[in-house]
Structure 1
């Protein structure tokens, strides 16, 4: 398969994710432990999943509204599993509302609030080691909401935590209907939305990090550039 080639334009956002000051304006939905070690953002659940179930999961939102045609890059360090790591992007409230509009239903980290609530978003799960079947056949899954639409999947090269040589450099491209994702410059999936089968093509919006407990992971060097499509 021949993948599309994208290059970086102007830098729209850069965050080292190295200290508490770097995320003071971020928005946490649910309960999570947020700490910093070795100049990296460390995230893990606050609540025990054995006791609290799906209430132990959470989402951490960057407050910036990004346009369409972007390249998102970050460094990822898996630390403890089982669990799952995901990124939301192009996230907005329905009917043109901001993601944090007070009229939207309160979100607390439970997944159905995000895929079948009153927001629209794309969500890519790139470290799916929560359940036994996910660990037995590892894939990166791309979904589109509103609705629980699995629109693309690709083989996931990320190993179990004990075999990880971190960091892994993750790159996500959102360019009109095209979504492309790579890990360490290996393209894992590419999908183009036709704007019909799963509703209109999503445009700009916010980015959020999600983990399913008891996953612990670290993040660093979140950078967003304008994306340019090479002919």
Structure 2
């Protein structure tokens, strides 16, 4: 749903199935709204590895200079969350016109698309659980370009909602949680906009609400 507000390109409360009618889910996942906000989870066991992971794409294409804001609640760990942004084909194609993807990570960083992706609430491996960071990568490829602290608590102590904000302004990319900046990075060859999507690594369950994309 496109907002009429001049400074806002897109708003979606993510509060019901009607809010996701044009979203696209890749991988074997389930969406529900038990608390009036989007709950995303895999329906496959984590033993299935990358085949158990899911991506939920917003259908809109966005320009290069934007702010993306959303609310997040961690419900079950281990796992991790990723936001893909500025995703489109390597020759500029619409993301949905490319070969079908089914969730394995390699399809997204060494497939036929270019994208940035920020990973947060990284709780999959022991090292990640011991020292929490947010990572920014640029693809094609698996290029780690920035890293910063992740202030999100574990599920046991989490209350939420946690306010997440990503900004891209003429190649300057920053990411903040509850107004605490995790990292900033400048790309002298920035990607030219595209789609955004939420990715989860099983068996994590996360909840999302109040997605907003604004023009910078």
User: Shorter-normalised TM-score: what interval?
Assistant: over 0.9
Task: Provide Cα deviations, 1:72-108, integer angstroms capped at 9, x if missing partner.
Answer: 000000000001001000000111111011xx33211
Residue matched to 1:24? 21
Judged with a 3 Å threshold, the aligned counterparts in structure 2 of structure 1 residues 9 and 152 are, in CA distance, closer, same or farther, namely farther
Q: Which blocks of at least 5 consecutive residues in structure 2 are unaligned?
A: none
Name the CA distance, whole Å, in 1 between partners of 2:105 and 2:149. Answer: 23
Select the residue among 80, 86, 91 that pairs with 1:84. Answer: 80
Matched, 1:100 2:100: no
Name the CA distance, whole Å, in 2 between partners of 1:115 and 1:42. Answer: 25
Name the CA distance, whole Å, in 2 between partners of 1:204 and 1:72. Answer: 12
1:10, 1:226 within 8 Å by CA — same for their partners in 2? yes
Q: What's the TM-score once normalised by structure 1's chain length?
A: 0.90
Find runs of 4+ consecutive structure 1 residues off by over 3 angstroms. Answer: none
1:57, 1:213 within 8 Å by CA — same for their partners in 2? yes
Name the CA distance, whole Å, in 1 between partners of 2:100 and 2:64. Answer: 26
What is the CA-CA distance between 1:130 and the residue it aligns to? 0.6
Alignment of 1:11-160 (within 5 A): 11-50=8-47, 52-101=48-97, 104-160=98-154
1:63 is paired with a residue whose SS is: coil
1:85 is paired with a residue whose SS is: strand
2:156 is paired with a residue whose SS is: helix
What is the CA-CA distance between 1:176 and the residue it aligns to? 2.2
Name the CA distance, whole Å, in 2 between partners of 1:149 and 1:18. Answer: 34
Name the CA distance, whole Å, in 1 between partners of 2:184 and 2:192. Answer: 17
Name the CA distance, whole Å, in 2 between partners of 1:105 and 1:167. Answer: 35
Task: Provide Cα deviations, 1:110-157, integer angstroms capped at 9, x if missing partner.
Answer: 001000111000000011001111111110000000000000000111
Q: Which blocks of at least 5 consecutive residues in structure 1 are unaligned?
A: 1-7, 196-200
2:164 is paired with a residue whose SS is: strand
What is the CA-CA distance between 1:194 and the residue it aligns to? 2.1
Aligned residues: 212
Name the CA distance, whole Å, in 1 between partners of 2:18 and 2:159. Answer: 28
